[in-house]
Amino acid sequence: MRKILVLALLGVFAVMGLAAAAAAEDVIKIGHLAALTGDWAAYGQTEVNSAKLAVEEINAKGGVLGKKLQLVPYDFRTRPEDAVNAFRRMAENDKVVAVIGANGSGINIATAPLADKYKVPQIGTVSTNLLVTVDEKGVLHPYMFRICFTDPYQGQLIAAFSAQELKKMTAAVLWDVGSDYAQGLREFFMKYYDQYGGKVVADLGFRAGTDVDFRAQLTTIRDSKAEVLVLPNMGKEMALIMKQARELGMKDIIFVGGDGYGEFMWEIAGDAMEGSYWINHVAPEDPAMADFFKDYLKTYNDECKEFTNGVLAYDSIYWLADAITRAGKVDSTAIKDALENTVNVKLHHATMSIDPATHNPMNKTGVVLIAKDGRGQFFTKIQPE
């Protein structure tokens, strides 16, 4: 009897194992690196919510290749070392076929060697530094991609807007010396601003996470008579800088920044945000994104304030789903090849074509937001030659 019972149990376990294996085969696991805690939590939480929304929509329509997508998010807590550990777990334990995120250049620069090592393609959401997809010698990381435009292009957009649209020909730059993102954006703004006839009259640094008083730097900038203060940074430090600048009587200087803009900055800067300009990838008023914002509000009872992260994470899932479909199989190398061969793929926020030599989007139009009436609003689009 005992032998029969054991055999019966073994049979049950075998059936359960086969069922589990079959269930696993019906799921396509996609990793997501997101800062769910720490200084970038507002960005990361929005990204995961948006990615989940895309996954649910795609699954409701039958999934991809007859399989359901499953999002596997990990919190990297705004730290490169945590992102590296998370990527390793996703590749080794979770067996993801691809990863989206993170929203920071330094994070993706840290994970790029692992994407190549494990042959798991990764799509940076708001990772604009050139070294995300190529190394310092310009050699391509074959498994690294991005959905956003790059720092050289974003720097050119900021320079063109400041010089050609605002007609302001003297600028100061106040940047985070510990940020790959800030360093790259600063470098290319200065390069292109010079080409447009502008002059940088003050170039000063600080260290995010340590510095909270910027009055010394701002006093130097005030004395320089700069017409524009360029803030190539992310998050709360920019809000503090603007608030302190206005408190120092800098009423006329115009703040211009990049895609590090976040709606949460209003809570810190208040009215000092009004009239500032921000180069971005998307605008909330884009009619093509109306359904996304409506569904996000309905699902999460939130207006998706960090809309750049939300839209780019959302469309990263759709781009990845399209690549898996074109690959015709759930194989990371085939998916990588399909991502690389993206040509005129219609997403929600843009039509995507990828440069196979750099894995960067080609010729994406930039959006300029104006901070007005307590939120970022569409101002104009820009695409310099």
Distance CA 101, CA 189 (A): 25
20: pLDDT strictly greater than 60: no
102: pLDDT strictly greater than 80: yes
> Is residue 250 within 8 Å of residue 214, measured between CB atoms?
no
> pLDDT > 90: what percent of the chain?
78
Report the pLDDT value the prediction gives residue 354, as an integer from 0 to 100: 97
287: pLDDT strictly greater than 90: no
145-187 confidence digits (pLDDT tens)? 999 988 889 999 999 999 999 999 999 999 999 998 899 999 9
Q: Do domains 10-149+286-352 and 152-280+367-382 have the same CATH topology?
A: yes
**Which pLDDT band, with edges at 50, 70 and 90, does 17 fall under?**
very low
As a whole number, mean pLDDT of residues 44-61 equals 98
As a whole number, mean pLDDT of residues 371-377 equals 92
What residues contact 124, with CB distance under 8 A and at least 6 apart? 101, 102, 103, 105, 108, 132, 133, 144, 145, 146, 147, 148
Which whole-number Å values give the CA distances from 137 to 59, 131, 133, 141, 191, in the listed order? 41, 9, 11, 11, 20
> Is residue 125 within 8 Å of residue 309, measured between CB atoms?
yes
- Which of 12-26, 40-54, 62-76, 102-116 has the weakest average pLDDT? 12-26
Report the pLDDT value the prediction gives residue 23, as an integer from 0 to 100: 46
Bridge partners, 354 (sequence order): 361
Which of the four CATH numbers 3.30.43.10, 3.40.50.720, 3.40.50.2300, 1.20.58.220 does domain 10-149+286-352 have?
A: 3.40.50.2300
Query: What residue type is 61 in one-letter code?
Result: K
Report the pLDDT value the prediction gives residue 382, as an integer from 0 to 100: 86
As a whole number, mean pLDDT of residues 129-152 equals 94
> pLDDT > 70: what percent of the chain?
93
Cα end-to-end distance, the chain, whole Å: 83
Report the pLDDT value the prediction gives residue 332, as an integer from 0 to 100: 98
Report the pLDDT value the prediction gives residue 288, as an integer from 0 to 100: 84
Report the pLDDT value the prediction gives residue 299, as an integer from 0 to 100: 97
Q: Exposed, middle or buried: residue 315 (CB in 10 Å: 0-12, 13-18, 19+)?
A: buried
Angle at 162 between CA 157 and CA 167, to 5 degrees: 135
Report the pLDDT value the prediction gives residue 209, as an integer from 0 to 100: 87
197-248 confidence digits (pLDDT tens)? 999 999 999 999 899 999 999 999 999 999 999 999 987 899 999 999 999 9
Query: What residue type is 125 in one-letter code?
Result: T
36: pLDDT strictly greater than 90: yes
Report the pLDDT value the prediction gives residue 112, as an integer from 0 to 100: 97
300: pLDDT strictly greater than 80: yes
Average model confidence (pLDDT) across the chain = 92
Report the pLDDT value the prediction gives residue 9, as an integer from 0 to 100: 44
Tracing tokens 């030599």 back to the chain, one arrives at 357
Tracing tokens 């075998």 back to the chain, one arrives at 14
What are the domain boundaries of the chain? 10-149+286-352, 152-280+367-382
> Is residue 362 within 8 Å of residue 354, measured between CB atoms?
yes
Q: Exposed, middle or buried: residue 24 (CB in 10 Å: 0-12, 13-18, 19+)?
A: exposed
- What are the structure tokens assigned to 152, written together? 């050289």
Q: Exposed, middle or buried: residue 282 (CB in 10 Å: 0-12, 13-18, 19+)?
A: buried
Distance CA 314, CA 77 (A): 21
Reduced to 3 states (helix: H, G, I; strand: E, B; else coil), residue 336 is helix
> Is residue 28 within 8 Å of residue 96, measured between CB atoms?
no
Query: What residue type is 225 in one-letter code?
Result: K
Assigned fold of 152-280+367-382: Rossmann fold (3.40.50)
Which whole-number Å values give the CA distances from 60 to 55, 71, 317, in the listed order? 8, 15, 14
Report the pLDDT value the prediction gives residue 363, as an integer from 0 to 100: 79
> Is residue 327 within 8 Å of residue 334, measured between CB atoms?
yes
Bridge partners, 67 (sequence order): 64
Distance CA 123, CA 131 (A): 13
Q: Taking the model in full, what pTM does it have?
A: 0.78
355: pLDDT strictly greater than 80: yes
**Which pLDDT band, with edges at 50, 70 and 90, does 25 fall under?**
low
Helix/strand/coil percentages in the chain, nearest 5: 45, 20, 30
195: pLDDT strictly greater than 70: yes
- What are the structure tokens assigned to 157, written together? 């957009």
